[in-house]
Amino acid sequence: MMSHIAPPTEPRNPFVMAQQQFDLAADLLELPNSIRRRLRVPRRELKVAVPVRMDDGEVMVYEGYRVQHSLARGPAKGGIRYHPDVDIDTVRALAMWMSWKCALVNIPFGGSKGGVAVDPRGLSLGELERLTRRYAAEISIIIGPESDIPAPDMNTNAQTMAWMMDTLSIHRGHTVRAAVTGKPLHIGGSEGRVEATARGLIYVLHESLKLLELSPPATRVAIQGFGNVGGNAARMLHNDGLPIVAVSDMYGGLYHPRGLDIAAVQVHVQRTGSVIGYREAEPISNAELLELPCEVLIPAALGNQITSENAHRIHARILAEGANGPTTPEADAILQEQGTFVIPDVLGNAGGVIVSYFEWVQGLQEYFWSEQEVNTNLERIIVKAFHDVMRVVAEQQHYARTAAYLLAVRRVADAAETRGVYP
């Protein structure tokens, strides 16, 4: 029998959710309280005011954060997001998940995360640049190539990272390529970084199809989110011969039971800014997309999408998590009972941080790899991590998320215990 997950209540706070997931693993690992207490909370938190001079001359002040959960396995690593809902608990949860993600794929980083509570769609390009540079300056006291390396996340991109790297380099007095990852290629970025998160998810998904003996042409896929992860995953899977029956963005979704023409949808999005209005498919809501008949469901948008309220209506055989924290612990218990095969977020979306690690190494060495080298090494690392998780599933009869956490938490706990407590 599989081990059961039975959280007492369903959390809506992402940090409470992250702690519940950690507590389950800590209990199963029988971690001593001395280690548990250290890993249950972030090591360091920085909250900053980010004043920005707007185009009309007014000064607005935004709240920014940078949280480092663990440094036991190396410098911290984590993205920067711009979103109105960014708050300290969201950033705490994302930083903790980054610690487990880096440990699971066995790269020498701890976990961190950062963000600014802002809607970037309401800012001009100049305002975005001033916001980014001021935020980078404010958190510069704890970030850098040896301590904490930012990367893009929700509503940030290569240009954002270029502004951050330039700001940090000006403070240092020389160019510091390894200070951030996800940069444009011509200033030290890595080949394959833009598609890395989606590509890693595809590598793991194909391993899952082999394990479950599913034929790609008969494997219908629904994808919530059509940004960097969801859009690239849709394109790659479509090219691999899997029918993409549904996609969505923040405004709504599309459904076609025989599969969408993803190239045509992408042209429509480039022209209009949304999937909405594409005439060759039926309009659906984001909530409806999650409950469609399909073999693979990829939540690649926000967290807390699959809860106790809708988990029993999930029909997909495989849930491949492209987003961070899309499934609550209580929903996990329902999916486990249903026999849904879950690719947990700490594995499914780890491709981005793996290639960020490659970019960091290239920046330190000033020696750059080909895209083929990047993709080959990404596949090697993430496929090994998948089989590591499946080995624990088979040997200990645990749910896949639990198995992933057992591996990751054990590695971080071992590092923390070996390094000890100073003084």
Residue extent(s) of CATH 3.40.50.720 domains in the chain: 196-348
pLDDT over 60 at 417, yes or no: yes
Q: What is the mean pLDDT of residues 357-365?
A: 97
State the pLDDT at residue 12.
76
State the pLDDT at residue 228.
92
Q: What integer best gives the mean pLDDT of the chain?
A: 95
Q: What is the mean pLDDT of residues 308-331?
A: 96
Residue extent(s) of CATH 3.40.50.10860 domains in the chain: 42-187
Say whether 253 sits in a helix, a strand or coil.
Answer: strand
Handedness of CA 361, 189, 105, 379 (dihedral sign): negative
pLDDT over 70 at 3, yes or no: no
Q: Is CATH 3.40.50.12280 correct for 196-348? A: no
How far is Cα 85 from Cα 302, in angstroms, rounded to an integer? 11
| Closest-CA residue to 416 (of 35, 44, 67) | 35
Q: What is the mean pLDDT of residues 307-329?
A: 96
Q: What is the mean pLDDT of residues 289-295?
A: 97
By DSSP bridging, strand 110-116 and strand 59-68 are antiparallel
Integer angstrom CA distances of residue 29 from 26, 96, 142, 341: 5, 18, 32, 23
State the pLDDT at residue 6.
39
- For residue 380, what are the contacts with CB-CB under 8 A and spacing of at least 6? none
Residue 113 catalytic? yes
Residue 342, beta-bridge partner list: 319
- pTM beyond 0.85: yes
State the pLDDT at residue 11.
53
For 123-172, what is each residue's pLDDT tens digit? 999 999 999 999 999 999 999 999 999 999 999 999 999 999 999 999 99
Range of lowest pLDDT (2-11, 91-100, 110-119, 192-201): 2-11
- Which residue in 113, 183, 210, 384 is the catalytic one? 113
The stretches of 193-261 forming alpha helices (DSSP H) are 196-212, 228-239
CA atoms within a 13 Å half-sphere pointing along the CA-CB vector of 322: 30
In three-state form (DSSP H/G/I as H, E/B as E, the rest C), the secondary structure along 38-100 is HHCCCCEEEEEEEEEECCCCCEEEEEEEEEECCCCCCCEEEEEEECCCCCHHHHHHHHHHHHH
By DSSP bridging, strand 59-68 and strand 44-53 are antiparallel
State the pLDDT at residue 239.
97
| Closest-CA residue to 383 (of 354, 423, 408) | 354
State the pLDDT at residue 8.
38
Q: Is CATH 3.40.50.10860 correct for 42-187? A: yes
For 61-82, what is each residue's pLDDT tens digit? 999 999 999 999 999 999 999 9
Q: What is the mean pLDDT of residues 356-385?
A: 97
Q: What is the mean pLDDT of residues 394-399?
A: 93
Q: What is the mean pLDDT of residues 357-377?
A: 97
By DSSP bridging, strand 252-255 and strand 244-249 are antiparallel
| Closest-CA residue to 149 (of 371, 380, 415, 355) | 355
